[in-house]
Amino acid sequence: MSTKEAVVFSIGWNACINCGACVAVCPKEAGFISDFDTIAVHEPCDIACMHCEAVCPVSTISHTMASALNGQMLEEHVGNHFD
């Protein structure tokens, strides 16, 4: 369900099967992708339709409200998921 508030996505990389379904269903412009060809995790999504989370076969996409993250926290937020 859409939150209609900008969000930042996180991928549980351990479960991700790199299938590309999240990118396929994404209505954002070209390039809203991560280095691992998933939905972008390094920038906020202002559409927040959540279709990427819904279509993920293994439900390994989650999100945090962008408003809850300032720049520094965003960096840490993304960094945590690459550890």
The residue ranges that bind another protein (CB under 8 A) are 17, 19-27, 29-31, 33, 37, 51, 54-59
Nearer to another protein, 24 or 73 (CB): 24
At closest approach, how far in Å is the CB of 38 from another protein?
Answer: 9
* Token couple for 3: 């939150």
Nearer to another protein, 9 or 69 (CB): 9
Nearer to another protein, 54 or 68 (CB): 54
| Cβ density class 42-69: b for 16+ within 10 Å, e for less | ebbbeebbbbbbebbeeebbebeebeeb
Task: Give the rounded distance of the alpha carbon of 33 from its chain centre.
Answer: 9
